[in-house]
Chain A
Amino acid sequence: MTAVSAPAAAAQAAPTARPDTRRRRRRLPFSPWHLLLAPMALLFAVPLIWLVLSSVMSNAEINRFPPALWPSRLDLGGYRYVLGNAMFPRWFANSFLVSLVTVTANLVLGTLGGYAFARMRFAGSRLLLGLMLATMAIPFQLTMIPTFLVMKQLGLIDTLGALIVPSLVTPFSVFLLRQFFLSLPRELEEAAWIDGCSRLHVLWRIVLPLSRPALSTVAVLTFLSTWNDLTWPLIAINHDTRYTLQLGLTTFQGQHHTQWAAVMAGNVITVLPVLLAFLGAQKAFIQSITSTGLKG
């Protein structure tokens, strides 16, 4: 019924509607959507702006009531303290090392595993694939206590190894790469096999150069989850020389309640690498997240 009456109504409304919108446009020199978007954007941006501002304020400016909302002058005391007296450089190096090894291992082991599952025939491949798919549904909380005990048995607790070993390769990396390899045309690889190339050679020379998008997705998401993790370092690490940045920042905040400028300087150092990586490769980041999200 509505379908019949609607066009007629639209036809009647059309001539009067047009001048109306034109008048509204004259009153508002921009799309009305900005009235929603601009305040929201400000709300999202303010905490990060405040993070940067407070990191260059003096403690005196912060620790009064009401605190200053804008630094009167640039004070790098927070950064000097964090980089000189505290162990932030050490923690940064730890985080960097753990992330680098984890991302590299995920790329290498994920590629090998994903390629074998995508292209090679071997006994038990179906069963293994199904089992690995099933492990993706296991929440980390269920495994964290025994994983701690396993790492203790291996003598890795309180070393960076305990942070690296459990995430050397994730089922996610294997699956994502397998799905991608399946989407590549087989013919290219078959031509190379006929020429007598080994599997590894084919993988390295032909498949990987075509797999940049999938590899970058694995790298981006692995880096993000490794760099940002707090739970596992909190469980596996005791000594402050082995802290990651997230754990270090959290502990530092607990110990330096009144030195907010230093805490915020440390916070900037913790956030900056991810932020720069994101702003530099925003397209890859967002594509990685949406592609896995929409297919997941």
Chain B
Amino acid sequence: MARPPLTDDELIARYGPHLNEAPPGGWNAGIEVDRVVKTHCCFCGQQCGIKLKVHDNAVVGFEPWYEFPFNEGKLCPKGVKRYLQGSHPDRLLHPMERDPAAPGGFRQTSWDHALERVVAEIRRIQAEHGDDAFAMLSGVSLTNEKSYLVGKFARLALHTANLDYNGRFCMVSAGTGNKKALGIDRAPNPWSDIPLADVVWVAGANVAETFPITTSYIWRARDRGAKLIVQDPRVVPLARTADLFLPVRPGTDSALFGAVLHVLIERGWLDHEFIDAHTVGFDEAAAAVADMTPAWAADITGVPAARIEEAAEWWGTAATGMMLHARGIEQHTKGVDNVLAAINLGLATGKFGKPGCGVSTITGQGNGQGGREHGHKCDQLPGNRDISNPDHRAAVAAVWGCDEADIPGKGMPAEEIIEAIHDGRIKGLLSICFNPLVSAPDANFTREALDKLEFYTVIDFFLSESAQHADVVLPGSLHEEDEGTSTSGEGRIIKINAAVTPPGEARRDWEILVDIARRLGKGDLFSYANTEQIFDELCRASHGGTADYTGATWQRIEDEMGLFWPIPEPGHPGTPRLHEGGRFAHPDGKARFHPVPFKPSAEVVDDDYPLLLTTGRVVSQYLSGTQTRRIAALVAQYPRPLCEMHPRLADTIGVVDGDLVTVTSRRGSMTLPAHVVTTIRPDTVFIPYHWPGAQAANQLTNRAVDPLAKMPEFKVTAVRVERAGGRGATTDTRDLGLHEASS
């Protein structure tokens, strides 16, 4: 049973998170720099260019990379301090095995012993319970090369169908919706289109905190006179300056979009020429919104009808417009519906395939775009191919040099894998770059599942909360310790360069996977001398798929500061803007409208759970916090979760700012300080999810998933909130030096 060997406190004392305060040698060391490495930030799908300063095989600082066109030197606080994840006291330096008797609960071991044990356990479990009883979970902080390799490794070396990735909790609704409506899963526009839009509509995206650099693109549009619409249950920082704010109740975005389509149709703000020439299914979509009047939607969404009509007018009458959406509309049991409803608005007004026009998801994770293209997902093969399609299977088998029949079929998505572990159908797990204990919904259930594993091995650079459950821990590589490519949220393939080599006995992730494959007897399928060879194979495997990298080379990517796929042949310039000339990626070249009737969320409020909880991120933390909770300056910005609530709600439960409250859902409860602010709907509370254990917002969230995308409903949980007694801290006391002016 894969239980942590010691208590949380004991594990934290040994493996952290400890806080890295200063670069190697301290702040006063003076900066001596051997070389400066151009690479990218590892935190979030914007993939900002950054230069890392290196001294004595350690990253000692950063310098803005002004020439990289996407961010021109700009960075968010995570990017500025990213370099402090290196030279970290918590860094895993040796392979380890669980041993409750050993100090720290893990015993150092050799690579040979660790990997032989991993291979023996894989063989034992697969022999006893079938190949699919050993699963793999991966993540999209990995490069394209590693993501591709993981897909191939799971199918051919592990020979399991059950591989999935943490993008399942992030971008997958958008990907599914894009494929259904547009035939391709990529943001339709380069970000340089945003400044060309006359209306920018940000739906369910806290841009200022989760994609800070996008703020500058939006301002460039506004400097040209564009109007900004923000749709969010909270007055997020960007909303403060919006021209129109749509304070939507969590879980009702499709009602809002439906009502806007209703108004567009009613007022004739449609691009009939575009609809007729380039789309199918408009009538069905129109029929579905026939009754969705602004007054009806106002009731459901909480957005005043006049604001809905104004949004429709701005969107419908503007010559150009961009809608940017993110997890706010996507992490729902109707996440795909929401995305389809958003795309309907773009198709109805002809806002695709032209400068300054598009409906685009903002990809969240570092390589969220590239990582979801090359066979990382349970139903997918490289080039964003379908693992159930015989032609697609044959094409990939030819590149892999295997029999098509050797490629397993469609496996379970991430949340189902966790459920299958919980009910005993899956016995063994290899995970890399995934911390489900913090990031998956219903954390108590996830913990029970991990505890039940017969064998669990983790490749990671820090001992994440999930890794604490592992039988064998394999020290992998940090972002700056390996090279490769990633693909940013705008579909730009970029080059990640290694700044340092892995410390101690740690190895590059791909070398570990290749070593396991070799020990499983599949070495001939994984004979790579370096990372670039993996990329070249990836490009060949993607040839003919929708995510076509055929013409990409590392050299070109560096020389041209990134390449936008598809790049269907060598020398092709790449494709910054998709759907130009109204050509969509479905075989008939047309986009699909989809009728989107309004459905309630999996949980709605009732007398026992009368409030809505929505979860999300803060600017100083990234995902499950494995990296960012170890950097002192970032932790200081937002040290612990707070429960944001409106003063009206605070009054009814009798608390003031800083009072502890207990938030309870059908699955769990947690106690944390109330942060009383007028910037959130009075019927909604917000808790950021970056922390583990008793501080985990995901103790409360719901495992219900979208029927198509299998995305859990992180954004809507029915809860009740009660006064807990006691006080916590909410006030930021860091910049009060002035009050000590005379002390």
A binds B: no
| A residues adjacent to B (C-beta < 8 A) | none
